[in-house]
Amino acid sequence: MLVFKFGGASVKDAEGIINLGNIVKQYSGGQLLIVVSAMGKTTNALEALTRAYVGQHDDMHQVYEDIKSHHFNILSRLFEPGHPVFDDIQNTFVEIDWMIEDEPHDDFDFIYDQIVSIGELVSTRIINAYLNAIGLTSKWLDVRSYIHTDNTYREGVVDWQKTCEEIERGLPPLLQKGLVVTQGFLGGTSENFTTTLGREGSDYTASIFASCLKAESVTTWKDVPGILNADPKLFADTVKFDELSYNEAIEMTYYGATVIHPKTIKPLQNAGIPLLVKSFNQPDAPGTVIKEGVLPVFEKPVVIVKNNQVLVSISTKDYSFITEHHLSGIFAIFAKHLVKTNVLQTSALSFSICIDMNTDRFEGLLNDLKRDFKVKYNDGLSLLTLRHYKDSSIEPYIAGKELLLEQQSRNTVQLVLK
Ligand code: ASP
Ligand code: MG
């Protein structure tokens, strides 16, 4: 049994969905589960809608209308008028209609998940209807009845035992009858509310299903030929890896490579399931295979850039040393605000942490830190990580930039740059 995951870029328009249909057709003889993200930039647009609703901005209805009309334009390119999918999509959006009529609830993360999840509910309904329309047998599955999470909205923590039990019981009979299409990124709580698993979390969804079903492999279909040593949008002369080890892939995602979601690899590694990263434009090309026991040769360093970084410097108010006691208090504050640290450095009097700028969480974090510490910060920075570098390979990346923090080990160098 195979698991395919199609990201937003691969289903951003009618051509993308037609292409998905052609790829899936070639594999429809075997058992196949298809995990799909929201179409194109829909998640960003739904995020904007959530903010407009919570802030009661004037443009809320416009933002919402744009999202709907974008989807209906795509529908009208794929289906004859009167096809039941038009009503189905209309009815799915009604959830948002109801929500935004009322006063916003005070839990932003909860509202976010109820609104943003509509992107995947809609995309999977469209794709499932399209696969049936081209003569395949496909069933739409509501992932929220299978992937069970706690109620940490926007970062749902998966209850693996309950999830695997449901998947093992529910999926095999469905997969025997035909294709199954389901939503990436979403989960459900025990009270039947919708959660999301963190941005770009659809890869993780695919890996959860694969691991519970002991799939042969997972394939994620992307707009790149496989995993490259650097982002081709930022660097010229990239090279593709034919194979990578699970370890290297985990390290790359840890440092911020966005090609796969960081939580994806562990379940696959544990179950020994290979992950294939392939191009949806060249479906027959081999892409990259991530599996056990690969020893790749790194001709060029792996380069990972994370933008929108903030470097926070924390020191004591009374000029005393930063001790373990202070550090544990500082980490507790970061954990409370669900802020992950990207690089850390301590000196006698200060502690520096580089984090992603998250405007929803930053102010609360600063306020809590300032209660006990002096805090300064520098934003708009980039964090550059080079793995398997040679000393000579660092220089060109720093040229013309201000280096605010550097951390070097034998294999990896991290640079915070302005
Ligand atoms: N649609 C979600 C996002 O854009 C999940 C995903 O694409 O994996 O974050
Ligand atoms: Mg996406």
Residue 297 pLDDT > 90: no
Residue 296 lies in a domain: no
Domain region containing 96: 2-291
pLDDT score recorded for residue 249 = 93
Residue 323 pLDDT > 80: yes
Dist CA 26 CA 126 (whole Å)? 20
The atom of ligand 1 lying closest to the CA of 7 is 7
Around ion ligand 2, residues with a beta carbon closer than 5 Å are 8, 37
DSSP state of 320: -
Q: What is the torsional sign of CA 171, 174, 178, 183?
A: negative
| Ligand 2 centroid – CA 12 distance (Å) | 10
Whole-number percent of the chain with pLDDT over 70: 100
Same domain, 253 and 339: no
Name which of 120-134, 278-292, 394-408 the model is least confident about. Answer: 394-408
Same domain, 138 and 202: yes
pLDDT score recorded for residue 233 = 87
pLDDT score recorded for residue 40 = 97
Same domain, 252 and 339: no
Residue 25 lies in a domain: yes
Considering 291, 321, 352, which residue would you say is the last residue of a domain?
Answer: 291
Dist CA 102 CA 107 (whole Å)? 14
Task: Count structural domains, the chain.
Answer: 2
pTM equals 0.90
Residue 306 pLDDT > 90: yes
Residue carrying structure tokens 């993200």: 37
Residue 259 pLDDT > 90: no
Residue 148 lies in a domain: yes
Residue 297 lies in a domain: no
| Ligand 1 centroid – CA 350 distance (Å) | 37
Residue 245 pLDDT > 90: yes
Considering only CA atoms, which of 150, 126, 154 is closest in space to residue 46?
A: 154
Residues with CB under 6 A from ligand 1: 7-8, 37-38, 43, 119, 184-185, 199-202
Same domain, 284 and 331: no
Virtual torsion, Cα 40, 75, 14, 70, nearest 10 deg: -40
Residue 11 pLDDT > 80: yes
Answer yes or no: are the C-beta atoms of 357 and 309 closer than 8 Å: yes
Angle between helix 14-27 and 60-78 (nearest 10): 50
Residue 324 lies in a domain: yes
First to last CA, the chain: 47
pLDDT band at 391 (very low <50, low <70, confident <90, very high): confident
Considering only CA atoms, which of 240, 249, 257 is closest in space to residue 290?
A: 249
Dist CA 145 CA 166 (whole Å)? 8
Pairing relationship of beta strands 373-387 and 302-316 according to DSSP bridges? antiparallel
Residue carrying structure tokens 């520096």: 352
Residue 117 lies in a domain: yes
Answer yes or no: are the C-beta atoms of 380 and 340 closer than 8 Å: no
Residue range 156-207, pLDDT digits in tens: 999 999 999 999 999 999 999 999 999 999 999 999 999 999 999 999 999 9
Residue 28 pLDDT > 90: no
Dist CA 251 CA 343 (whole Å)? 14
pLDDT score recorded for residue 294 = 86
Considering 291, 326, 361, which residue would you say is the last residue of a domain?
Answer: 291
Residue 27 C-alpha from the chain's centroid:
26
pLDDT score recorded for residue 256 = 86
